[in-house]
């Protein structure tokens, strides 16, 4: 993106907020204000962004094009009223899990243009994946701005039905944890089979990372890639016979995603 990003206000500079701010700065950011009470969290952006401890310290003349909500969901109710003055001039981009567009507009005012998005943690290395949903009154220009902000840290897709963000949260939002669990279990199993711990860890991590890179680079679907690795009557086929039993991975993954989706709906309700 060659065009400089317009002035932005970031509320919360934790891992995800900080990752996004890094991406914006690399893309070119005209001006950035950050509300972050923890000095250590925003310390690495000294000289690159103007940091204040709370919204009350923001200048009255501030006119951001976007206000990005990257705080914890439980902090939203107390934080939103102080930001209501930006409704009508800025689009609010929320990356908070479980806080609906209706909830956000309830705290910001019904005139607030809100885009709700669910990024995942690989955004910290520019490899994130985000699904976004525009709320009522979001203009084409505001949607384009939010798309530019989100693509700074990875791939972006859009949906028009907010309810779809619940399974998105379950699959993509939580997905890195499931992949990390796979690496963890591969490492433990390798140790059980007699491999030294350092070798087992390095092997598990490299296998998961390399397989992800191959999947990303390939035009084939995941099933085709799996079959290509599976020689008839070989060792991989023997392992997959265990993993692909209905009560094993197929059933467990389905149940896990259903449970996470249900929990996302509970949090939104």
The DSSP result for 96-111, as a single string, is -TT--HHHHHHHH-TT
In this prediction, residue 40 carries a pLDDT of: 86
Structure tokens at 141: 């220009």
Is this structure's pTM higher than 0.75? yes
How open is the CA angle 30-68-77, to the nearest 5 degrees? Answer: 145
Q: What is the domain partition of the chain in residue ranges?
A: 8-160, 173-268
Strand order across the 32-35 sheet:
50-52, 32-35, 8-11, 66-69, 91-94, 113-118, 128-134, 154-158
8-160 and 173-268 share one CATH topology?
A: no
Smallest CA-to-CA distance from 68 within 32, 38, 104, 94 is with: 94
Smallest CA-to-CA distance from 57 within 29, 36, 86 is with: 36
CATH class of 173-268: mainly alpha
Structure tokens at 68: 């990005």
Q: List the CATH code of the domain at 8-160.
A: 3.40.50.720
Q: What is the largest CA-CA distance in the chain?
A: 71
Query: pLDDT tens per residue, the chain (269 residues)?
Result: 445 789 999 999 998 999 899 989 888 888 899 999 998 888 888 888 999 999 999 999 999 999 999 999 999 999 999 999 999 999 999 999 889 999 999 999 999 999 999 999 998 888 999 999 999 999 999 999 999 999 988 999 999 999 999 999 999 999 999 999 999 999 999 999 999 999 999 999 999 999 999 999 999 999 999 999 999 999 999 999 999 999 999 999 999 999 999 999 998 87
In this prediction, residue 1 carries a pLDDT of: 41
Q: Tokens 């990390």 appear where? A: 180
């Amino acid at each position: 993106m060659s065009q400089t990003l317009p002035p932005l206000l970031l509320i919360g500079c934790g891992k995800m907020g900080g990752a996004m701010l890094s991406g914006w700065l690399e893309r070119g950011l005209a001006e950035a204000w950050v509300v972050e009470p923890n000095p250590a969290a925003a310390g690495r952006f000294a000289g690159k962004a103007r940091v204040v401890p709370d919204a009350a310290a923001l200048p009255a003349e501030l006119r951001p094009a976007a206000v990005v909500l990257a705080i914890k969901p439980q902090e939203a109710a107390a934080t939103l009223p102080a930001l209501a003055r930006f409704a009508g001039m800025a689009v609010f981009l929320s990356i908070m899990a479980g806080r609906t567009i209706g909830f956000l507009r309830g705290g910001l005012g019904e005139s607030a243009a809100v885009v709700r998005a669910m990024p995942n943690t690989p955004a910290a290395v520019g490899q994130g994946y985000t699904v976004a949903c525009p709320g009522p009154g979001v203009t084409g220009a505001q949607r384009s701005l939010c798309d530019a902000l989100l693509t700074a840290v990875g791939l972006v897709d859009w949906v028009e039905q907010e309810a779809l963000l619940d399974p998105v949260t379950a699959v993509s939002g939580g997905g890195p944890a499931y992949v990390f669990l796979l690496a963890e279990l591969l490492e433990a199993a390798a140790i059980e089979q007699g491999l030294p711990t350092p070798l087992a860890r390095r092997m598990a991590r490299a296998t998961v990372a390399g397989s992800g890179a191959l999947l990303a680079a390939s035009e084939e679907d995941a099933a085709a890639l799996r079959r290509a690795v599976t020689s008839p009557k070989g060792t991989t086929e023997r392992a997959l016979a265990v993993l692909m039993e209905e009560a094993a991975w197929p059933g467990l993954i389905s149940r896990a995603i259903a449970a996470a989706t249900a929990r996302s709906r509970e949090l939104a309700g």
